[in-house]
Amino acid sequence: MPLYEYQCKKCGHRFERIQSFAAEDVKECPVCHGEVERLISTPARPQFKGSGFYSTDYSSKPAASSSAPAEASAAPAAKTESAPAPAAAPSTPAKSD
């Protein structure tokens, strides 16, 4: 239901009423019982508060665009392959004569 804003012509009191579209306008000020007029106001904008409104809130993995350049530049420097250790030659006992 829409929220309508009214202002009294006699005392200047401003107030709001939630009314259906089919309801009649308020005719009387609740303070001084003078005549009121309905004001034209801008529609309310939605306010997104709390979690769940950003793409990062439901992401199961980190954002690819922000972490990809950092990983790409660090990967070649950090990646080092070690050569397999040479196999030890079998030792032969020295012959003593």
The pLDDT, as a whole number, for residue 41 is 76
The pLDDT, as a whole number, for residue 54 is 67
Q: Which residues make beta-bridge pairs with 7?
A: 14, 37
Stretches where the chain sits below pLDDT 50 are none
Q: How remote is the C-alpha of 79 from its chain's centroid? A: 36
Number of domains in the chain: 1
The pLDDT, as a whole number, for residue 38 is 92
The pLDDT, as a whole number, for residue 10 is 93
Would you say residue 61 lies in a domain? no
Q: Count the neighbouring beta carbons within 10 Å of the beta carbon of residue 89.
A: 6
Would you say residue 87 lies in a domain? no
- Answering whether pTM is above 0.85, one says no
One DSSP character per residue, 10-24 reads: TT--EEEEE--TTSP
Q: Are 38 and 6 within 8 A, CB to CB?
A: yes
Would you say residue 74 lies in a domain? no
Structural domain boundaries enclosing 21: 3-39
